[in-house]
Amino acid sequence: MLVLAASCLNSEDPYEAGFIFRKPQYALTALFANNQVDTVSFISYGQWNVTRDASATWCKLEASVGKAYTYYTFPLLFEQNTTGEGRGTWFTFNDTEHPGEAYCSIAYWQYATRGDGSLGSAADVKTIMGSDGSHFELAYDAQHRPLSLRITKEDVLLHQLTLSYNDRDSVLTVQDRDKTLTGSYSNDYQPKRLVGMGDTVTYASQLYDNYMAVSANYAFNLEHRTLLGNNTYYAYLLNGQSLTPDSLHNADSLSIARVTAAGRNVQKCKLEYSAADNRCQSVDVNQLIFGTEQCDPYQLLSLFRYARSSRIVSKVTSAANSDIIEVECNANGSVRTLTVKRSSGGVVVSDSPLTYTFEY
């Protein structure tokens, strides 16, 4: 952003005034509910001060006055947004020697949701216990970003992920047992793709018959590709729903294709939803509806938030099955228990119901 003013009028001495901003890059900056800092960097040609939205007590600017011909860099601090609503604020930098002639305004909008799609007030899940003998252990940092996930069933290790965030370079590293995957992120802390030695977890476009890419708010894929070719493809159909932060979207249907040396298995599911909000806890509980073995750990942690439907699934219908999902919620909306009643050909299967119990 660049704001300059100059005068050579006979009635006053020539002068230069104004600001050259390096950060923020835009007049309006969008933040997520768990963002807590931004950087302001600029040069001022004159002495300056700041006027601001006094009602926005949730943000703090580290400086309010300064000198001429000086380069300034200082932090702008934000509280995490736990209000359940988006909120905004603004700051105006004024040249005090030429008020009204040289000034620059910047504004911030902080979403109600974190980068993973959960609400800023969402509770962090500590453990999930399944009636099938499964045990999920999770840990988070102060910004509610996942640090670890361990999934076992009857003492057999199914998944173990450790995550670390390099905020200087904006790089996420995921240690998936003997595999290391990395991906870059912006202020949502979300990778568009995670890449390792032969392994990739990534968004991918679906294609029309003419090979043009389908817009992601209509349909998209989340793909797990491995060096050995044991790949899994999740295809989500949205039919034009918005994917902007804070928007509500629920996948109309989901197709899961699993490819191994033995062949290709495709499961096509129609999804129906309850009124229960899937954003009130840190994890995407919809990843549990197919059972512990089929739970995708990356999506359970909501590392790819577009795949996280805003409501909790109430019914899954496929060619062979019709499964009912029931949830009990805590007072804050977070899930207390999730129960899957699984049937095949109209007959309840032997391991049904399967109940998961959440602790925070």
Q: What is the CATH number of the domain that holds 23?
A: 2.60.40.10
- Mean pLDDT of all residues in 248-254: 97
pLDDT value of position 322: 85
pLDDT value of position 13: 59
Residue where one domain finishes, among candidates 79, 110, 141: 110
Query: For residue 97, is it within any domain?
Result: yes
Query: For residue 122, is it within any domain?
Result: no
Residue where one domain finishes, among candidates 66, 81, 110: 110
User: Within this chain, do residues 313 and 214 fall inside the same structural domain, yes or no?
Assistant: yes
pLDDT value of position 10: 40
What CATH number corresponds to the domain at position 279? 2.40.160
User: Within this chain, do residues 254 and 342 fall inside the same structural domain, yes or no?
Assistant: yes
Distance, in Å, from the CA atom of 310 to the CA atom of 284, rounded to the nearest integer, reads 9
Domain count, the chain: 2
Query: For residue 342, is it within any domain?
Result: yes
User: Residue 234 is part of which domain span?
Assistant: 127-359
User: Within this chain, do residues 93 and 156 fall inside the same structural domain, yes or no?
Assistant: no
pLDDT value of position 350: 56
pLDDT value of position 346: 57
Distance, in Å, from the CA atom of 218 to the CA atom of 237, rounded to the nearest integer, reads 6
Residue where one domain finishes, among candidates 85, 110, 135: 110
User: Within this chain, do residues 302 and 169 fall inside the same structural domain, yes or no?
Assistant: yes
User: Within this chain, do residues 35 and 91 fall inside the same structural domain, yes or no?
Assistant: yes
- Mean pLDDT of all residues in 124-141: 98
The model carries a pTM of 0.91
pLDDT tens digits for range 94-108: 999 888 788 899 999
Query: For residue 118, is it within any domain?
Result: no
- Mean pLDDT of all residues in 163-192: 97
User: Within this chain, do residues 152 and 258 fall inside the same structural domain, yes or no?
Assistant: yes
pLDDT confidence of 1, banded at 50, 70, 90?
A: low
pLDDT tens digits for range 39-94: 999 999 899 999 999 999 999 998 899 999 999 999 999 999 999 999 999 999 99
User: Within this chain, do residues 187 and 71 fall inside the same structural domain, yes or no?
Assistant: no
- Mean pLDDT of all residues in 273-300: 97
User: Within this chain, do residues 78 and 137 fall inside the same structural domain, yes or no?
Assistant: no
Task: Tell me the sheet residues that pair with 87.
Answer: 110
User: Within this chain, do residues 165 and 313 fall inside the same structural domain, yes or no?
Assistant: yes
Query: Is residue 345 over pLDDT 70?
Result: no
User: Within this chain, do residues 82 and 132 fall inside the same structural domain, yes or no?
Assistant: no
Query: Is residue 304 over pLDDT 90?
Result: yes
